[in-house]
Amino acid sequence: MTVIEQFPLGAQLRLADLERFDNAPLLHRLREHEPVTWFAEHGVWLVTSKALVDQVQLDPVRFVVDVPGNPQRIVLGEQMLVVDGEEHSRHRGPFAPSFRYSAVRETFTDTVTERVEQLLDAIAGASGAELAAAFANPFAVSVASDILGLGIEHVEEVHDIYAAFAEGMVGYRDPAAVAHSALARERLAEFLVPRIAHLRARPDGSLLSSVIGARDAGLADDEELLANLRLILFGAIETVESMILNTTWALLHHPAEVRRLQEDPALWPAAVQEGLRLIPPVGYTDRWASEDTEIGGVPIARGDYVIPVIHAANRDPAAFPDPDRFDITRGDNRQNLSFGKGTHMCLGVNLARIQGAAALRRLFERLSGLRLDEARPSEPEGFNFRRPPHLYVNWGSASASRVRR
């Protein structure tokens, strides 16, 4: 029996099907009949049940990231997301203390609040906006800039550097895109190298300063430090932007949940977590089999590319009863996989959750009557990264927004 005959659902599958937002029935079918399937169009294994996705993510010996040709290495260099085992601990170790919940809460709560209020001040007087451009993107970029110690004055450059990295990641086989991302690396180094020298001479309480202190015992040289900072910049922008857009989109389609949040604002962290479960900004992670092995009884050959699908695992009814329902008080949603799991679980998870709860709560509080602009609808899309391409919203009284048009 050929692999195509063995996995008929995987054989019929097209990337466009996986990119569509309304594909939950397809993912349910896959999980039920072929929880490990051969996605013939792209020559990769897709894993769709929560239990098997956990198995892959929690086994960094059989399923690794350190392979030649990993796009993350080509674009960002040798950093924690492309190395395994002890090498991974060495790269991640200096950053870990600064990203613990208590450290992040102390370092970032005021900055995050300030960035949120500044951006909302700028739009609150209007009656509508495209939320990605007016709020979610500049918020994510400015906090990423804060993490790197670059502050608000470099946000435009940080935005452009991110865009060049993202272009390189998509077009990593295209020399022009890779060359463009290499220029962005140089540009970022122009900001960071003097900053690192300054902080080494005069340490302060900033995150970067703490990382440099811890790092000097760990990472081999400044190129490794710079590579991990590039990864952090890359990891902290589109993800956070999408978290805000996706959760706003979900809430605006579920006004009863918004009313629950108005009555009990302590529910905001849970609402963010549920938005992340239902519409994960990152749809899957990349792994490669380090040996001939199996997943769920399906033989996998050494070197095969294996994709644990977060979209599908997060909607597994075995883990999340009634999984397609948006319910901000579901008791099980902390085990969702939107930040990954295991050794490579998101370094920024605590910061991202603080950002999500602060940004969304204040967005809904300050822009009262927030609603979708029905004349310009959109919905989340994408398989690797998922978000609405734009999100037009109005607020205030309905008559005010009619006058504006």
Selected binder of ligand HEM within 344, 361, 386, 387 (CB under 6 A): 344
Selected binder of ligand HEM within 199, 251, 351, 370 (CB under 6 A): 351
Q: Which is nearer to ligand HEM, 81 or 116 (CB)?
A: 81
List binders of ligand HEM among 64-83 (CB under 6 A): 80-81
Rg (the chain; Cα; Å): 21
Q: Which is nearer to ligand HEM, 35 or 348 (CB)?
A: 348
Cα–Cα distance measured from residue 206 to residue 158, given in angstroms and rounded to the nearest whole number: 18
Cα–Cα distance measured from residue 215 to residue 93, given in angstroms and rounded to the nearest whole number: 8
188 contacts ligand HEM (rule: CB under 6 A): no
Cα–Cα distance measured from residue 351 to residue 347, given in angstroms and rounded to the nearest whole number: 9
We find the least distance from the C-beta atom of residue 114 to ligand HEM, in angstroms, to be 17
226 contacts ligand HEM (rule: CB under 6 A): no
Q: Which is nearer to ligand HEM, 47 or 352 (CB)?
A: 352
Per-position x/- string for 255-294, each x denoting binding to ligand HEM as judged by CB under 6 A, each - no binding? --------------------------xx--x---------
Selected binder of ligand HEM within 346, 354, 370, 372 (CB under 6 A): 346
336 contacts ligand HEM (rule: CB under 6 A): no
Query: On the CB side of 212, how many CA atoms lie within 13 Å of its CA?
Result: 22
**Tokens in use for 240?**
């956070």
DSSP string, 50-81: HHHHHHHHT-TTTEE---TT-HHHHHH-S-GG
Q: If residue 224 lies in a helix (H) or strand (E), which one and from where to where?
A: helix 222-235
Q: Which is nearer to ligand HEM, 351 or 395 (CB)?
A: 351
In the DSSP assignment, the letter for residue 135 is I
338 contacts ligand HEM (rule: CB under 6 A): yes
Q: If residue 365 lies in a helix (H) or strand (E), which one and from where to where?
A: helix 349-366
In one letter, which amino acid is 238?
A: E
Task: Give the number of other CB atoms < 10 A from CB of residue 140.
Answer: 27
Which residue is nearest to ligand HEM, using beta carbons? 348
In one letter, which amino acid is 364?
A: F
Site stretch for ligand HEM (CB under 6 A), options 18-26, 247-255, 299-307, 338-346: 338-346
Selected binder of ligand HEM within 352, 363, 372, 393 (CB under 6 A): 352
Q: Is 298 helix (H, G, I), strand (E, B) or coil?
A: strand
Site stretch for ligand HEM (CB under 6 A), options 15-23, 109-117, 162-170, 335-343: 335-343
348 contacts ligand HEM (rule: CB under 6 A): yes
Answer whether 347's CB lies under 8 Å from 95's CB: yes
Site stretch for ligand HEM (CB under 6 A), options 183-191, 192-200, 313-321, 336-344: 336-344
Q: How many residues belong to the site for ligand HEM (CB under 6 A)?
A: 22
We find the least distance from the C-beta atom of residue 8 to ligand HEM, in angstroms, to be 29
Site stretch for ligand HEM (CB under 6 A), options 169-177, 199-207, 253-261, 345-353: 345-353
Alpha helices (runs of H) in 61-216, residue ranges in sequence order: 71-76, 85-92, 101-124, 131, 137-147, 155-170, 175-201, 207-215
Sign of CA dihedral 389, 391, 238, 63: negative
**Tokens in use for 192?**
């960071």
Exposure string for 288-302, b = 16+ CB within 10 A, e = fewer: bbbeebebeebebee
List binders of ligand HEM among 143-182 (CB under 6 A): none
380 contacts ligand HEM (rule: CB under 6 A): no
Task: Give the number of other CB atoms < 10 A from CB of residue 78.
Answer: 17
We find the least distance from the C-beta atom of residue 12 to ligand HEM, in angstroms, to be 27
We find the least distance from the C-beta atom of residue 282 to ligand HEM, in angstroms, to be 4
The residues that touch ligand HEM, with contacts defined as CB under 6 A, are 80-81, 92, 231-232, 235-236, 239-240, 243, 281-282, 285, 338-340, 344, 346-348, 351-352
